Every structure is written in C-alpha cells, then in structure tokens.
Structure 1
C-alpha cells in the first residue's frame, strides 16, 4: 500500500498571512557575531547543531583521515601581467632610443627630469607585472586538521601597486571551536553573489577578532 505524502505549500497556495510571516521572519534576522559582517546574509549552523543539508565540496586539494585542504585562488589575470610587461618594454625601448639621439645634440634639466620619471614608472610597472606573474602563489590554501582541531590559513600579502617593498607570506593558526561561518551577499562590480567567511571569535564569546574568506 503506497503512502501518500502531504503536499507542500507553494507561493501560489499560501495565504497572505503565511507569506507575510515568512517575509517578516527573513528580514527580522540579525547576525549573532559582533561586529557584524558587511553585507551579512546569514549565519551557518554551529558545530553542535545537527547538519540537515549535505555538504558540497567543489574543490579539494587533498583529504585524508587527519586533515583536509581546500584551495583559495588569487583573483589575478596572469596573462594580463605578461601582456603588461610586453606593452611596457616596447615603448620604453623606443623612448630610450629617442632620448639617446636627442642627448647627442643637448639636453636640459626639465627634459632629464621627465625622462627619469618615465623610466621610474616604466621599471616599476615591469617589476610589478613580473612579481605578479612569477611570485604570487596561485593558491592560498586553508587546512582543517581534525585531530588537532586547528585551522591553518595561508595568506600572501600582496601590495597591489608597490613592487619595491616586501610581499610577505604568513600562516595563521586558529582553534576550530572559535571559528564561526557567515555568508555575505556581494553586489559590486568584481564580486557578485554569495561569499563564505570564517569568523574567528574570542574563546567562549561571539566577539570577532579576525575574518577570512
């Protein structure tokens, strides 16, 4: 004997009161953590909350009985970096050749100053593009160690427009129990859609001391 499943209500069959109740519940939500996340959408369930939605891992670098590592890819146009090197070198060579030809006749201080500024800018752009193409890691992974209950965050601190300073790499270590999940909704030009954040709180509190994507 087949069992009949009760039909779920859809938007077309719901009453205005039910629609209003669902709407009020959605827009009355507030973030649990302090300070709140910008463009906050919702909080993920806590560690001790039963997970009702199956997890989906789109990308996994490696997973075993001890730890799992997932990638975080840097949003850089690697081909554009090489194109920038080429498009900067070509006019640089032409300008240097023209200046050498002009200096054989004579030069003044303003011309020399303009040439120096142009050379400094050109070499800075070439160095910036080369460092982005050759030294910036494609992946900045996150490792979850289940046995130690630790989360390891690899970060590469790239100074976007200053190629003459050091770009350090750091590894942050957090206790798994102190990390809470939050989701934001982005709507700017380069980041649209939902974004998952890991929010690190002081032990036993909801006071955020750090966040990572």
Structure 2
C-alpha cells in the first residue's frame, strides 16, 4: 500500500500524482474547455459548484415562512390572549423563529452569491509559474469576512494529490466527493506550505493533471484538440441568478499582466 509523499497529506488522500517535471502520461480531451489557451498561458476554471444557484431560490421560501407565521399569530390572537406570561412566551417564540428565518435566508444567499463567478488558475509555461485566484470566507457568517485572494507560485514547487471523502446528503444519505488537490511545498522538501483544490467532481482526475503537465512541459501543440469553445471566467449563463449577481473575477492589474505575458 503506497504511503503519502507530502507532509501532511491532503484530507482524504488516495494517491500522489506525478511531479511537475515527470514525463506526462497519455491523455484524452478535457471534460470542460479551458478558459484560455495559447503558447504563453493556460487558464482553467475552478467554479465552486455545478449546482450553484439552487440555494438562492429558497430565500423567498424563508420570507414566506416568516409571513405565514406572523399571520397565524395575528389570526389566533397570540399577542393579546392569555396572561402576561403567555403573551411574553408567544412574543419570544415569534422573535426567535423570525431571527432563524432571517439568518437562514442570509446564509443561503451568502452561499450562492458571495463567491466570485469563477476561481480560475493560470499556468504560465514561459515564466514557469502558476497564478491562483482564490476566495476567503467564514462559511457560517453571512455578513462579513469575505474577500478574493491571489497568489503566485513556482511551478517546480507544485505537487498534486487525488482525494476522496464521504459527505452527507440532504436526504440523510452519504455521497462520495473526490477531486485533485494542489500543494505548494517548501523548495527541496515535501513540506506543504499551502494547499488548494484544482478540481472537484472531475471524472478523470489523472487526465486533468496530465493535461496541465503536458501543457507546461510540451506546450499547447501536444494537447488533444477540444471542440468546445473556451469561455471567459466572467461569462456565466443568463438564467443563473446566483452567478449573475456574484462578484466578477478581477485580477490585480500587475499580476494580470504578468500571468498573461512572457518575461
């Protein structure tokens, strides 16, 4: 049984993928087209969820539940019937439920809309660097602590791992989640300094990393043809309100120029 190469391995580690200078394996076409591809850089999409947009439509349901609860309270005279203790209890229950509806609505809206439209990653084969567009958030706090992040790393310090995890479903069952994790190691060691996802729910994990390595080592001419047209990171479907309302991908000007150009 092989053991993890990196210290520490990613959560749910299954196996290590070839290093950035190892000969790339045979590969097929990508499951989704890159955002951009030429002889200088490759940009891949890292959209946070394929079902993004489902939570935002539940926000009106929270508002409906609040109005329904208030209507029932008024209809049955909860605020004036009974003694003072009963009225205070009714008022406390209404206030507590109302606060719960408000928080749930804000939380669901926050999940769907606060994350940028895409979290792209650029591989500049001329500079031999990668550029990562990330996002920081406190998942339980819908009112703050959210901001975009950008970082640049040397290609030689990049490592890749396949992970697999079990997670709960809304129906009480379990679902397998899998993907490719990218680690940035301390030069000359296997000590992990930073880690982020390259892809989740990709069906051919080895192929995705082989695609990147082939590009970085051999260039775009060595990649299999893709019949699907590339799309801009900010190009989202008109019907998906969550993505339409989400923040645009905006690289810092200096990094944007550097990541798209040769030295």
Q: Do both share a fold (TM > 0.5)?
A: yes
Deviations 1:120-163 (A, max 9, x none): 11111122223334333342111112233221222223433331
Whether contact under 8 Å (1:155, 1:169) holds in the other structure is yes
Whether contact under 8 Å (1:186, 1:195) holds in the other structure is no
TM-score by length of 1: 0.73
Correspondence 1:131 to 2:110 = yes
Aligned to 2:190: 206
- In the TM superposition, what is the alpha-carbon distance from 1:54 to its structure 2 partner? 3.2
**Structure 1 segment 59-208 matched on structure 2, within 5 A:** 59=32, 60-75=34-49, 77-100=51-74, 102=77, 105=80, 108-188=87-167, 189-192=174-177, 194-208=178-192
How many residues get paired? 185
* Unmatched runs of 5 consecutive residues or more in structure 1: 1-26
Question: C-alpha distance in 1, partners of 2:139/2:59?
Answer: 16
- In the TM superposition, what is the alpha-carbon distance from 1:31 to its structure 2 partner? 2.4
Taking only aligned residues, the RMSD between alpha carbons, in angstroms, comes to: 2.6
Question: C-alpha distance in 1, partners of 2:93/2:151?
Answer: 45
SS of equivalent to 2:133:
strand
Question: C-alpha distance in 2, partners of 1:130/1:207?
Answer: 37
* Unmatched runs of 5 consecutive residues or more in structure 2: 168-173, 198-263
Question: C-alpha distance in 2, partners of 1:66/1:96?
Answer: 60
Question: C-alpha distance in 1, partners of 2:12/2:103?
Answer: 36
Aligned to 2:222: none
Correspondence 1:51 to 2:36 = no
Whether contact under 8 Å (1:181, 1:199) holds in the other structure is yes
- Structure 2 vs 1, CA of residues 82 and 42 (structure 1 numbering), >3 Å: closer, same or farther? closer
- In the TM superposition, what is the alpha-carbon distance from 1:57 to its structure 2 partner? 2.9
Question: C-alpha distance in 2, partners of 1:75/1:62?
Answer: 20
- In the TM superposition, what is the alpha-carbon distance from 1:104 to its structure 2 partner? 6.7
Aligned to 2:205: none
Deviations 1:38-67 (A, max 9, x none): 443332222332224236433211112221
Whether contact under 8 Å (2:20, 2:155) holds in the other structure is no
SS of equivalent to 1:91:
helix
Deviations 1:62-103 (A, max 9, x none): 112221111112137444313421221112112223445537
